Amino acid sequence: MRTSPFHERLAALSETQLWEHWSGYLSAVTYQHSATVEYFATRDSVGVFDTSPLFKYRISGPDATEVLSGVFVRDVAACAVGEAQYTLWCNDAGYVAEDGVVLRVGADEFWLTTADRNLAYLSRHVGSRKAEVEDMSDDFGVLAVQGPHSGNALAQLTDDAARLDYFGLTTTTLAGKPVTISRTGFTGDLGYEVWVRSADAIRVLDALLAAGAGYNIIPIGARALGMARLEAGLLLLGTDFEPARFAWTDASRETPAELGLGWMVPPPEDDRPYVGKPAIERERRDGSSRWKTVGIVVDAAGYERLYNDAGLIAPKEGVYRTGSLSLYDADFNAAADAKYVGYVTSFMFSPVLKRHIGLAKVPLDRTAPGSEVYLELAVSHRPKYVRAEVARTPFYSPARKTATAEGNPA
């Protein structure tokens, strides 16, 4: 099992020593005994998440833009130098292979982060064009610095971060070491991601922890990050959707529209070719989407009642789970003809909203906000059903997340 360039320092800060496997690396589940404490760092102060296990690729050369324009659904040519872009790419059948964030660091140079290996996939599309795909996963550590005071913490070390608009990026120095900082993250809050050479990682981390001490900066693990990203309505690969190349059947594959990411698809008059375009346009023309990914909000009183009637206290603190939970059109215990209508992929109790929320797949006739579904839960080992309503995502989206650079300070 490998460790990230930051592991030596972060492991010493862990009270739990709880680790999980992430792409061959040790990754912290939690550092403190309460994931909710770590979660609140992303909402009230500053949380630092080690995102180094992501795969990192450099795509460069005179034809780099042309290569990526033929792969990504979203037009990467619209991403200017000094900007980042959330994007996705598909297979020939129009099913999503993966999503990621691409950084345009130069006119002919892009950096891409992905959750799964994509070196062969990207290299295959270069062909005879003048471009090169390089795996630089081992060359860099990446820290996600997230929360309302993330900008204030970075401002102790550099003035450049404060000038960044949402999805902007810059090269600068921290603790005398060269870094690239992007105003991106996976928490749905104000945040930055810092790329640093692996050899310089500990020095930069130490400087950042010292600079953020006055803002209660702490490291956060995967569970707290998962809670924050669910509130933000952000999809997690392997949880809220499967990569098309690894799914066993088409029932486990999804199109951009079915993931709620149809806004990335270019308009019909756009003539740019990209992988999966004919299938995606055919789906849009025929209205053949099978379902849509939506948010749900659980009825609070009904949730309490399910557990109280069984002599239990309804679980809230720390509730975060991934994996399928079935949805029906009625309470199956009260209506024998209740029908299965979909499933929840991520579920949690939101500490900010004080409600149980989730991401779900529902048929197209139930996508309107307020549409009723019933969530199946196991209470005292028996299936029980609680009413929920379809809701728009993100569930939580503070104005500071996308504020212009002048409005960054919390």
Quick: pLDDT tens for 312-324.
Answer: 999 999 999 999 9
* Domain range list for the chain: 7-52+138-231, 55-136+255-288, 292-391
What type of residue sits at position 182?
A: S
Phi (first) and psi of residue 242, to 5 degrees: -105, 140
Domain 292-391 has CATH 2.40.30.110: yes
- Please say if the pLDDT value at position 397 is more than 60: yes
Name the pairing type of β-strands 218-219 and 47-50: parallel
- Cα–Cα distance, 190 to 43 (Å, whole number): 9
pLDDT at 406: 59
- Please say if the pLDDT value at position 332 is more than 90: yes
- Cα–Cα distance, 68 to 73 (Å, whole number): 9
Quick: pLDDT tens for 147-172.
Answer: 999 999 999 999 999 999 999 999 99
- Please say if the pLDDT value at position 208 is more than 50: yes
Same fold, 55-136+255-288 and 292-391: no
> With contact defined as beta carbons under 8 Å apart, do 50 and 6 qualify?
yes
- Please say if the pLDDT value at position 287 is more than 60: yes
Residue 335, C-beta contacts closer than 8 angstroms, at least 6 positions apart: none
- Please say if the pLDDT value at position 223 is more than 70: yes
Domain 55-136+255-288 has CATH 3.30.1540.10: no
pLDDT at 358: 98
Quick: pLDDT tens for 8-67.
Answer: 999 999 999 999 999 999 999 999 999 999 999 999 999 999 999 999 999 999 999 999
Tokens read off for 139: 């060359």
CB atoms within 10 A of CB 242: 18
275 three-class SS: coil
Q: Which helix (H) or strand (E) holds 37?
A: helix 35-44
Q: How confident is the model at residue 407 (pLDDT cuts 50, 70, 90)?
A: low
Listed residue (164, 107, 160, 111) closest to 140, CA to CA: 111
pLDDT at 405: 73
Concatenating the DSSP letter of every residue in 234-269 gives ---BTTTB--TTT-SSGGG---TTTTT-GGGSPPTT
Question: Residue range 251-273: average pLDDT?
Answer: 97
Q: What percent of the chain has pLDDT over 70?
A: 99
Helices (H), 170-299: 201-211, 222-231, 277-286
Q: How confident is the model at residue 408 (pLDDT cuts 50, 70, 90)?
A: low
Residue 360, C-beta contacts closer than 8 angstroms, at least 6 positions apart: 293, 294, 295, 296, 327, 342, 343, 344, 345, 373, 390
Helix, strand, coil % in the chain, rounded to nearest 5:
25, 35, 40
Question: Residue range 220-236: average pLDDT?
Answer: 98
Fold of 7-52+138-231: Gyrase A; domain 2 (3.30.1360)
Phi (first) and psi of residue 142, to 5 degrees: -130, 125
- Please say if the pLDDT value at position 97 is more than 80: yes
CB atoms within 10 A of CB 200: 19
Mean pLDDT computed over every residue of the chain? 97
43 three-class SS: helix
**Cα-only R_g, the chain:** 22
pLDDT at 42: 98
> With contact defined as beta carbons under 8 Å apart, do 192 and 203 qualify?
no
Q: Which helix (H) or strand (E) holds 304?
A: helix 300-308
33 three-class SS: coil
